[in-house]
Structure 1
Amino acid sequence: MTSEPLRVAVVGAGYWGPNLIRNFNSSPLWTLVAVVDRDTDRARHVIRGVQGVQLFASLGDLLDSDIVDAVAIATPAATHEALALQALTAGVHVVVEKPLAHDPRAGERMVALAKKRGLVLMTDHTYCYTPAVRRMREFIEGGELGEVLFVDSVRINLGLVQPDVDVFWDLAPHDLSILDYILPGGMAPVSVAAHGADPLGAGKACVGYLTLPLPGGAMANVHVNWLSPTKIRQMVVAGTRRTIVWDDLNPQQRLSIYDRGVDLLQQSVDSVDRRAATVSYRLGDMWAPALPEAEALGAMVEEFAASIRERRASVTDGASGLRVLSVLAAAQDSLARGGASVALPQRSQETTV
C-alpha cells in the first residue's frame, strides 16, 4: 500500500452522510472520490462545492468502477448487512454507521466475511472518539477510579420519534458503545432487563430503561427517552477510589472527577448472625481536567485510515459492534417478556483483522 491518501466513498447522503462527507473530504489521509445515493439530486446538493467527487445511484455501480479502497455506510440499519457484504466481497474496507446491523446474526456474518477477506470492518461509534470519552477510558485504564462500582447513563430529549426503530435502538447504542469502550475488557453484562413505555401510542417504546448487571457485582443503568422537554447527556462512572461525571452538554466542564465516595471499613457478624458494617464517607476534592476541542468524526476517520494501513482492528471494530447488538437484541427479548432478565450468550470477541 502506498503512502498516498486512501480513496473513500460515502454511501448515503441523508442525515449522517453529510457529516461523513465533510470529514473525509477535509482529512489529508483520505480522498473523497464518490457519493452513493439513489436520490442523486440530494447527493448533488450535499457535495455542492466539493471538487472531483463522482455520483453513483447504487453501490454496485461504484464497486464496478474500481475507484475506492473503502466505503462509509450511512444508511438505515436494515440495509447495512447487504451493503457491507457487497463491499467486503469486492475487497473494500468498510465503516458502518451505528448500529452495526439490524440484528446480531447479520453482524456476525459481516464480521466473519471481513475476517475471511483480511479487511477492516469498523463501527462508527462516534462518541468513543470524543476527547471526553477518551479521557474517561484513560482514567479507568490507569486505575484512577479503582474498581468500577456502577455506571448511570442518561440520554433524553424531545424527539425525534423514529419510524423504523424504538428508543432503545435509536439512542442506547451510543451509551452501550461508550461502556464497551471505557470498561476494562469491553462491555460484558451477565444479563439485560429492559423496561419500556409507549404513552403516545406510537407503536414502539418511546421511554426506556436498561439494567445491566456487570461481572464482579457492578451495575450499569441506561435511561433513554424521546419525550423529555429537557435534553440531558450525562454519564456517571463510580469506582472504589473516585467517580467521573461526564456532561456532554457542558462545554466548559465536560468531565468532573470526584474524590468522594463510601468506604467499607470493617464487617463483622454479631451474636445473632446478622452482619454489621462500618462505613466511612470520603469528601475529597473535585477537579475538571482540561480537554482539547476536536471533532469526534475527524478522529474516527483517522482511526479508520490507521487500522487499514497498519492492518489491525480499529478500537471500535466489528466485534465491538456485535457486543452492542447482543445487548440490544437481549433488550428486545426482555421487553417482549415484560421486563424479565435475559441472560446474554457468550459471544466471540475476536478482532476483525
Structure 2
Amino acid sequence: MTVMGREIIQILEEWAPKRLAVENDRIGLQVGHPDAEVKGVLVALDVTEAVVDEAIRIGANWIVAHHAIIYRPLNDLRTDRPAGRVYAKLLAHEINVFISHTNLDAASGGVNDVMCELIGLTNLEVLLPTYQPSLQKIVVFIPESHHEKVLQAMCQAGAGAIGEYSHCTFNLHGTGTFLPGEGTNPHIGEQGKLEQVSEVRLETIVSDEVRDAVVQAMKKAHPYEEAAYDIYPLELQGERLGVGRVGDLPRSVTLRELAEKLKVAYQLSGLRMVGDGERRVRKVAVLGGSGGRYYRNALSCGADVYITGDLDHHTVLDALAEGLTLLDPGHHAEELVLQRVVDILQRKLPSINIQATTVDTNPFTFL
C-alpha cells in the first residue's frame, strides 16, 4: 500500500502538535514535498551529511529529525561547503526532511517524558508551560435511536477527554418537540404537524482545538436536517502542556548517586555535576536540550536538582548561589526519544521500513 508524506506528518503532528512548540521554533517540513511517496524513514536527532548518507544507503527518502536543518538564516547554498553539500544530497536523492522539535519536547511521551521515565520520576508536572487549551461544553439533543451513534462519533473526534479518561459525557432523557415547516424533509414527522420525540440531551467537554471537528462529526452522525446543539464557554481550562518536567524520585539519594544513575540510564560515558555530591536530592526538574536559562523555573518548582544540557559557567554560578544543584548530561541526551518515534511511526505504518539512525552526531567526547 502506498504511503504518502502527509500520513507521516499527520501521525507526528497528532502526537506533537505545532501549538505545543515554543514561539518561532523551526518545525515542520523543511525540505521536500508533503505528497512525496514514503519509501523508508530514518529517525535522527540531527541532519548531518553522515545521516543523509545513511538514509541513502538504507533507501529512506524521509528523515524525521529533532533538530532543524534550517535553523539559522542561510547566506548561501555553495555545494563546495559542508552545509551546501548536505542540501545538494537531499535534493539530488529526493529526500524529505521533517522536524519535530520543542513540540516533541512538550508532547506526552516525548523527549522530556522519556528522560523522566528512564530515572523513575513520578508525580510529573510541566516545568515551562507553553500551551493550555480553553474548554467549552457542547450540548446536543439526539433521538434515542441515534444516541449511541452520535456519542461515539463525537468522542472519537476528541470530545469528552478529561485527563487519561475518554468518552466522558452526561446524558438525560426527555421529550423534544418540533414542527417541520414548508420545504423541509424531516427524518421524523411530517410537514405542518407538531412532533414529539423521545430524545437524549448529551453534554460533554471539548477543547478549542477539537471543537470544530467534534461539531462536524456530530452533524454527520445526527439524523436530523438541523441538529439542535449549544456551545457554552467555560472558565475552566484544559491540562497545562509545555517543555520540561518536574517529578519525584522513589526515595532521596545523594547527588552523586543520581549522577551515576543518570550515566547508566542515559548511556553516557560522562556528565557534568554541579554542587555537593553528598547532598541528598529527591525532587528533580528535567529539560532535554539546552535549558540553562530556565533554572529559575526549576527553583520555583521546588526542585533539588536540575537536569539539562549546555550549561554555561555564569548560569551555573548563579544557580548554585541560589541553592540549586545541577547535572548536565549534554544536549545529545535528547536522542533517547528516537526509538519512541520509530515505535509510534511503525505501529501506524507497518509496511514501511522505519529505523533510528546509527550515526553518532554527538560532537563531544568525554576523556
Shorter-chain TM range is under 0.3
> If you compute each CA radius of gyration, which structure gives the higher value, 1 or 2?
2
TM-score, normalised with respect to structure 2 = 0.24
